[in-house]
Amino acid sequence: MNSSCVQWDSSIASAVVAALLIASVGTASVGTASAADSPNAIPAAGLAAANPWPPPQASVSWSAPDAAARGSVHLQLLGLNDFHGNLQSPTVASARPVGGAAALAAYLKALERLAPGRTLIVHAGDQLGASPPITSLLRNEPSIEFLNLLANRHCHYGNAMTFDDPTPERREPNRCNVVGTLGNHEFDAGPAEIRRLLGGGNASDGPFLENPYRGSRVPYVCANVIDRRTGKPLLPAYTVVHLGGIQVGVIGAVLRDTPSIVPEWAVTDLEFLDEAESINRAAAALERQGIHTLIVLIHQGLEPVRSADGFDWRGPLRDIVARLDPDIDVVVSGHTHNYSNALLPSRDGTMVLVTQAYAYGVALAQIDLRVDPLTHDVVAKSARIVPVWADSATGRPGDAGARRLTDAAQKLVAARVARVVGQLPRPMTRALSLAGESALGDLVADAQRAATHADIALMNPGGLRSDLRAGPVTWGDVLTLHPFANHLITLDMTGAQLLAVLEQQWPAESNALPRILKTSGLYYSWDPARPAGVRIVEACDGAHQPLDPAHHYRVTVNDFLANGGDGFTTLKALQAGESGPLDSEALVQYLQDQGSAVPATQARITRSDLSPARLCAAP
């Protein structure tokens, strides 16, 4: 699978395929979008998405009118999302080194020491999957073991999937300091692998770092996934954590559209329910127990858009929050790999604090709550997004346990990933033009077209998980870029079918983000002001000849797209295609054949409202 997260549309969109927008004045945007992760969201008004880096210094806060007159207990939440197994500092555009397990753990533990016994670390999914080789080659176990390093003595193996006993007199107080939920990438290998990673047991090609592998010490919650075979939830909808004498209800959820961005076989036995309805049912159950400090961890997100007042927010999560139970206080989100720190209204206008800390461990959300000890209502809340600088006094050398974990994992995979497979004279990044094109997307699409001798290649942004630096490119770099092991499929398509696929880059749902495909052998322009279904202004082949609706073209896509991933149902409806090499193999071969591979600089995708010049030769 290779969509992740929403594309700049989503695998931050979502997924990376993420859009890393290079900023000026020496700093850069660490925004990633993934097709799942939300990679290609282009504001309808034509403004570039705003994903500031470093995050704004100011906090966002709310307090009840009578907060000052009420006593309160201080609680702290530390939120992460979309770590994707990045034990080492990820390849992102930043003026200073950021992230890495050692730096992230050190930041979290330092902040936790400021509120001992009153701090809860939470993550909003995609802790694993779409990961670099240091994690993916070890079947994602290091991602879980990293969370285990953060867990306190109250977190125990065997309790990761334990359903709470709702009877107060029978419930043992849960004082574990870490809780997580599932993202779409946790489903990449199916529910059996989720159960193994959380519950323990060696992989078929293990053992790796632990023998036997013991699973997660950290409890997981997810309110909106049902196992069709049993009719029961895959995981508990919520857990209750005791912090500073306050019972805190933590509810989990994953985006309902997960089946459209993971392999079809992986979710055949699962049903994904409406997010808001599922969260509200869990909230009602907690309220019946007298619990009114309610936190939601959801793998769905927002995208910041510059406005006169700083930022506005768009994306599916906004509508979900607008339907939530007013007793819900905080939503820690993920999936779009963006910056979020906002107060948004729930269904009765009560303000919900909504955060997201980019992706890959480059930042965290520090959330402060003030809770009335009598009513257990939150009377004040504030949040800021904190960058995880790997060169700061806290981040360097970082946490010793996380360093040992990273070193041990790297030692196991080093021989497999060090081989140099090519050279690049300049960086190839996912930084997007206003039309949604990227240099890295062009390079990958060129490689896939060459590997299959196709007329045209289409690549989804969610499958592009990291940038490539200038200079030597290693096998490990390629596996980090292409972690999904997607096979290439070459299809027979008419020009009319190709145009239908291009129109499907804009989902029918009004709040959904577009999924701009990367192309080789295909040029087109589009207009955001046109209605859905007719946004393509012109399209032509590699010779700049207009697409002939009746002509047949050889078109290469990966097997995720060929199976209808990311909503490209036109591709799924076609007859079976010709199977080719893995996406990673195609890129390695192209780098070796080209010697020094750089895509042509001519724009392949343009917006007609910004560039009126024609792409196609006159008919």
Q: Tally Cβ neighbours within 10 Å of residue 534.
A: 11
Name the least confident of 69-83, 170-184, 468-482.
170-184
Range list for CATH 3.60.21.10 in the chain: 75-410
CA atoms within 13 A on the CB side of 557: 28
Range list for CATH 3.90.780.10 in the chain: 419-607
pLDDT at residue 382, rounded to an integer: 98
Q: What is the pTM of this model?
A: 0.86
The answer to whether the CB of 458 falls within 8 A of the CB of 517 is yes
CA pair distance 328, 123, nearest whole angstrom: 17
CA atoms within 13 A on the CB side of 349: 0
CA distances from 127 to 50, 124, 144, 350 (A): 24, 8, 8, 30
Residue 248 has pLDDT above 50, yes or no: yes
pLDDT at residue 307, rounded to an integer: 86
Structure token digits, residue 42: 């282009």
- Indicate the CATH number of 419-607 among 3.10.580.10, 3.20.20.70, 3.90.780.10, 1.10.1270.20: 3.90.780.10
Per-residue pLDDT band at 166 (split at 50, 70, 90): low
Residue 537 has pLDDT above 90, yes or no: yes
CA pair distance 40, 247, nearest whole angstrom: 39
Residue 492 has pLDDT above 90, yes or no: yes
Residue 3 has pLDDT above 80, yes or no: no
Residue 335 φ/ψ region, left for φ over 0, alpha for ψ in the -120 to 50 degree band, beta for the rest: left
pLDDT (average), residues 421-436: 92
pLDDT at residue 69, rounded to an integer: 85
pLDDT at residue 14, rounded to an integer: 29
The answer to whether the CB of 424 falls within 8 A of the CB of 596 is yes
Closest by CA to 324, choosing from 370, 279, 260, is 279
At which residue do the structure tokens 């209204």 appear?
Answer: 345
Average pLDDT for the chain: 89
Closest by CA to 238, choosing from 184, 183, 176, 283, is 283
CA distances from 574 to 130, 179, 455, 497, 561 (A): 27, 43, 17, 9, 12
pLDDT (average), residues 595-614: 83
Closest by CA to 37, choosing from 76, 62, 6, 9, is 6
pLDDT (average), residues 237-243: 97
pLDDT at residue 59, rounded to an integer: 96
Residue 459 has pLDDT above 50, yes or no: yes
pLDDT at residue 179, rounded to an integer: 98
CA distances from 79 to 9, 474, 546 (A): 24, 33, 49
DSSP state of 63: E
At which residue do the structure tokens 């909106």 appear?
Answer: 224
| CATH superfamily placement of domain 75-410 | Metallo-dependent phosphatases (3.60.21.10)
Residue-wise pLDDT for 106-149, tens only, equals 999 999 999 999 999 999 999 999 999 999 999 999 999 999 99
Q: What percent of the chain has pLDDT over 70?
A: 90
pLDDT at residue 42, rounded to an integer: 26
DSSP labels for 385-415? Answer: EEE-BTTSTTTSS--HHHHHHHHHHHHHHHH
pLDDT (average), residues 523-548: 95
DSSP labels for 508-543? Answer: SSTTPPP---EEESEEEEE-TTSPTT--EEEEEETT
- Per the DSSP assignment, residues forming a β-bridge with 295 are 250, 330
pLDDT at residue 4, rounded to an integer: 42
Residue-wise pLDDT for 13-61, tens only, equals 223 223 322 222 222 234 333 333 332 222 222 223 578 999 999 999 9
Count the helix, strand and coil residues of the chain and give each as a percent rounded to the nearest 5: 25, 30, 50
pLDDT at residue 171, rounded to an integer: 62
Per-residue pLDDT band at 511 (split at 50, 70, 90): low
Across 459-489, b (16+ Cβ under 10 Å) vs e yields bbbbbbbbbbeeeebebbbbbbbbbbebbbb
pLDDT at residue 581, rounded to an integer: 95
pLDDT (average), residues 239-246: 96
CA pair distance 493, 578, nearest whole angstrom: 12
pLDDT at residue 22, rounded to an integer: 24
pLDDT (average), residues 577-597: 91
Residue 260 has pLDDT above 50, yes or no: yes
